[in-house]
Amino acid sequence: MKPVYALLLVFLVAAVVVTATRNSFVASAQTDLRVIYTDQDLPINDPNAALWAQAPEINVPLSGQNITAPFGLDPAVDTIRMRSLHNGGWVAFLLEWDDSTQDLGGGSLDFRDSVALQFPVHGGQPFVCMGVMGAEVNILHWRGDFQRDIEEGVPSIDEIFPRAAASIYPGEADIAFTAGLAAGNPLSSLTKPSAVEDLIATGFGTLETQDHADVTGWGAWDGDKWKAVIARPLVTGDDQDAQLTPGQQMPVALAAWDGDNRDVNGRKAVSAWITVALDEVPGNGVAPQPTATTAAGAPTPIITPTPIFIQGDGEGTTQIAIVVGLIVFFTVSVPVAAALIGRRRAS
């Protein structure tokens, strides 16, 4: 009996240590991606800039989202190649993945290519699929259809329904007949300030656009693959954003949607949490306010100013509850089992 209680005591001590240090039982301390410091302007809208070669590349494996419907059991994107740079003011991530078809949406049955980064707002590693209540995640989502809207304009009704029976739509110019636009739905907006959404979520079904967007980016497709840049200031002052600090580590998770695979919503490819480490800023640690280099054809950014991990806000309570539950279970079940065995032997 004594070895069993000793083992339970070890579990309890481990849970207390994990709670106090805000580390996860399954978290790895190793750095997966190094965010390289540069004193140059970041190519925040140029996926093909030569400066990206200064950053080491890693391969991030993805698998199908199989936690909740709609499932993505057969993902078309199984690896994303990733690099990152920062200059003390901004951070930029370059994401590259193979895709032989360019899907930008726009039709009633069209799907779009997109990619996203997910950061914990309050540190730790919340549930990797959209976080949980009390442990929000900040999602930066580059969308092929948003970039199309910026480059070509929002599709008209005739473009969305090219063979519709009606050729005249009464009230088409009246906002009363466009419910999404009238309600202020950002997906219905006729002007997109960026190809990247700034989102917040606390679990499945809670995803919403932030009132204050602090992100920009741009994608480029070469016939065989996508390259997409997602960039934002390191510090935004927005309590719905994750804040990044040079010299420190930060968890991040990735997701990708392939339009040709009819990916949408939860039907996507996802990664586990990986750890990114930002280089320190040399000297006094204060970098000048950076400016952005912009790819040809990309607009100047408009900025206003799978494994399951349970952590983030409330993770200490979760871990303690699990361990205490195990202790109660074994405390009750082991003596009862021993008593039953003793009775059987006596009989």
The domain ranges of the chain are 1-22+319-347, 28-154+190-311
- pLDDT under 50: residue ranges of the chain: 1, 4, 7-8, 11-29, 286-296, 300-324
Measure the CA–CA gap between 100 and 84, rounded to whole angstroms: 24
Measure the CA–CA gap between 63 and 280, rounded to whole angstroms: 33
CATH T-level assignment (fold) for domain 28-154+190-311 = Immunoglobulin-like (2.60.40)
Measure the CA–CA gap between 241 and 213, rounded to whole angstroms: 9
pLDDT at 42: 96
H helix intervals, the chain: 2-21, 144-152, 157-160, 179-182, 315-346
pLDDT at 157: 76
pLDDT at 302: 39
pLDDT at 112: 95
pLDDT at 277: 95
Of 117, 139, 136, residue with least CA distance to 314 = 136
Measure the CA–CA gap between 268 and 290, rounded to whole angstroms: 34
Rounded to 5°, the CA angle 72-120-293 comes to 90
pLDDT at 20: 37
pLDDT at 296: 45
Is residue 131 a contact partner of residue 203, using CB atoms and an 8 Å limit? yes
- What residues pair up with 249 in beta bridges, in sequence order? 277
pLDDT at 298: 55
The two tokens of residue 254 are 């990735």
pTM for the complete prediction? 0.74
pLDDT at 156: 80
